[in-house]
Amino acid sequence: MIVYFIRRFNLLVTTLFLLSLISFSLAHLFPGDAAINFSGQQSLTYQEYAKLTEELALNESYFVQYIVYMQRVVQGDFGNSFSSDASVLDDFMRVFPASAELSAYALILTAIVGLPLGLWAGVKRNSWIDKVIFSSATIANSIPIFWMGLLLMLLFSLNLAWLPISGRLNLLYEVPSDTGILLIDIALSNLDNKYQIYQDALRHLVLPTITLAILPTTILIGMMRSSVINVMATPYIKAAKTKGLSTFQIIRKHVFRNAILPIIPQFGLLFNTLMTSTMITEFIFSWPGIGHWLIEAIYQRDYPVIQAALLLVSSFMVVINVLSDIVHTLLNPLVRKEING
Amino acid sequence: MANNDIYNEIQYPGPYQLAWAKFRADHVSWVCFCIVIFFIIVAIFAPLVAPYSPTEQNTDYVLLPPSWQNAGDVHFLLGTDDLGRDVLSRLIYGTQITFGLSLLVALAAMVVGLALGALAGMSKGIRASVFNHLLDTILSIPSLLLAIVIVAALGPGLFNTIWAVFLVLIPQFVHRTRIAVQNEFKKEYVTAARLDGANDFQILISSVFPNIIETIILQYSLAVSAAMLDVAALGFLGLGAQQGSPEWGAMLAGSIDLIYRASWLATLPGVTMFLCLLSVNTVGHGLRNALKQRSE
């Protein structure tokens, strides 16, 4: 067991090391001067430039440069943004909660919709219910997410005028940003018309959350369905049926828990899809999150931001991937048995 | 069953024929396969099929709705956009860019990925371990983010997008090929070939490749749909094909400003792209089912 953890940890460290190497080399690969790309300070006098080159060890070998870069990363110094001239880490901390909030709601929606539908389709395998659920999931899986966002916007915002088009909150309301998570911020604020603000925030949330949740939901339905089908074919389900348990009891006590276990290691895949979708969704709905920030940075050729965003976002994903693997091992006795031999 | 026809040799279908027959027996997959073929023909013969040039501006017919609406004109079957360009022609040329280029870029990635994957599958020890770690790193970054970063380094543009998608697709092929090759090398017929004195390269070419080709084709269909999504997504985000190009994603992006006035500009490219993606995905799904049924 400990050997397994060490190996996972080893994988994590190696992967993070390679990611940092890619991120480091980007500053040299991007057009322009490496000192400016690393620090993000554009208007430098000659003395300042020489001092910066000294600090970043740019005259030394690449190895020394990398060490210096890693020291800065560990201290959280990713340089300054070209466009806002603020520290990249501060900018990241400002946009991250918005993305995390949106992703979390989409993930909850995915679980609420995807798990029961997949379970239902798997239990009623080859019936018309299964066919309807599975083929709609396949069809929804082929809809490009940016088109889906546009369609929802066209229908609900423009034609029916039920929901706002873009942004997080009506500009009338000014909620101070304490945590960055809007629904918590509203609760913490001392504004008097909280009820209306909540309503407005929730109305802004509906379309992006649905757009974002569609793709992961279709994937989750597929995973859950095949997992449930595998479980239903096992002898212990047959034994439970022979015991005389009702279908509902079998599903509640045996199928659900066993079907969910093999999905946990695939959570990383689900999360990757979610992150990719987040970037496009944020772009469509002008949601002030990481995706919007990164794409803006590319338009502006804001190299320090691109470099830092790549490192932070992909490290986050690697950690999530490894964590879902470890959680799976801890929860699933079958895998533990395999590892321990 | 006894065979009385002693003069004619009976033909048993080979494994490929068997898979093909299974695939054709599934009507949905077969229809989708025909749609894919249709799209390929449209992509190849776009200049012959399209009624107008994709950049020709008919200034007298600006923002004409599709011809089935009252204000439409049958000369412009699917209407025109804000510069008077025929939407149908643009969609047809867009097939060439979004779908045609995706097919080609996935093919190129397949060739490179197959070669690297075969090498990785046969190597052992520390080299294989380093390679796997590298692969895991790249696979853990979502393809669109990676493509965005590559485009950011190279600069926006359709050509750079294609490069980015090419680089993003390779690791998936390498991963799939490596696993397939490793599994085949454990099988007994490979041992038999080795006892006959065949070296690794001969085994790879004559024994392993024919057996993994179906896995590779399956991965190819997945790669085509991923490539289309990435090319269109980058075009939509304004990082790929430039504005005004008939690429489907760029067409969708251009429609946002006009969405209230001309909703067909947003719906039609989306429907086309959806149809194309759905067909490719269904063909891949049908292929997987056919292979599974054959092995059962």
Task: Report pLDDT for B108.
Answer: 95
**B145 contacts A18? CB cut-off 8 A:** no
| Average pLDDT score over chain A | 83
Please tell me which residue of chain B has the smallest CA distance to A301.
Answer: B152
> If you write DSSP's letter for every residue of B190-254 in order, what string do you get?
HHHHHHTT--HHHHIIIIIHHHHHHHHHHHHHHHHHHHHHHHHHHHHTTSSSPTTS--HHHHHHH
Distance, CA of B231 to CA of B239 (rounded, Å): 9
Q: What is the ipTM of this complex?
A: 0.81
Task: Report pLDDT for B182.
Answer: 86
**Residue A80: what are its φ and ψ, rounded to 5°?**
-110, 155
Distance, CA of A95 to CA of A98 (rounded, Å): 6
Residue among A11, A26, A141 minimizing CB distance to B281: A141
DSSP H helical ranges for chain A = 2-29, 34-39, 46-55, 62-74, 88-123, 128-141, 145-152, 182-188, 194-232, 235-243, 247-250, 256-260, 267-284, 290-299, 303-331, 333-340
Distance, CA of B154 to CA of B173 (rounded, Å): 23
- Residues in chain A with CB shorter than 8 Å from the CB of B259 are 150, 153-154, 158
Q: Indicate if the alpha-carbon torsion angle B49, B54, B60, B64 is positive or negative.
A: positive
- Residues in chain A with CB shorter than 8 Å from the CB of B148 are 279, 294-295, 298
Confidence of residue A190 (pLDDT cuts 50, 70, 90): confident
Distance, CA of A66 to CA of A109 (rounded, Å): 42
Mean pLDDT within A85-93: 84
- For residue A336, pLDDT over 80 is answered with no
List of domains in chain A:
2-75 (no CATH), 88-301 (1.10.3720.10)
Mutation site for A-interface testing, chosen from B139, B148, B260, B288 by largest number of A Cβ within 10 Å = B148
Task: Report pLDDT for A339.
Answer: 67
**Residue A87: what are its φ and ψ, rounded to 5°?**
-60, 135
Q: Considering chain A, what percentage of its residues have pLDDT values greater than 90?
A: 9
pLDDT in tens, chain B (296 residues): 566 676 777 777 888 888 888 888 889 899 999 999 999 999 999 889 888 888 888 888 888 888 888 887 888 888 888 888 888 999 999 999 899 999 999 999 999 999 988 888 887 777 777 777 677 667 767 778 888 878 877 778 888 889 989 988 998 888 888 888 888 888 888 888 889 888 888 888 888 888 888 888 888 998 999 899 999 998 888 888 887 788 898 888 888 888 888 888 888 999 999 999 999 999 988 888 888 887 77
- Residues in chain A with CB shorter than 8 Å from the CB of B237 are 280, 283, 295
Task: Report pLDDT for B1.
Answer: 54
Distance, CA of B176 to CA of A13 (rounded, Å): 24
Query: How far away is chain A from the Cα of B140, in angstroms, using its nearest Cα?
Result: 6
Please tell me which residue of chain A has the smallest CA distance to B279.
Answer: A142
Query: How far away is chain B from the Cα of A25, in angstroms, using its nearest Cα?
Result: 11
For residue A41, give both structure tokens: 């300070």
Residue B187 region, left (φ>0) first, then alpha (ψ -120 to 50), else beta? beta
Task: Report pLDDT for A108.
Answer: 92
Closest CA to B253 of B269, B267, B237, B239: B237
For residue B271, give both structure tokens: 């429907």
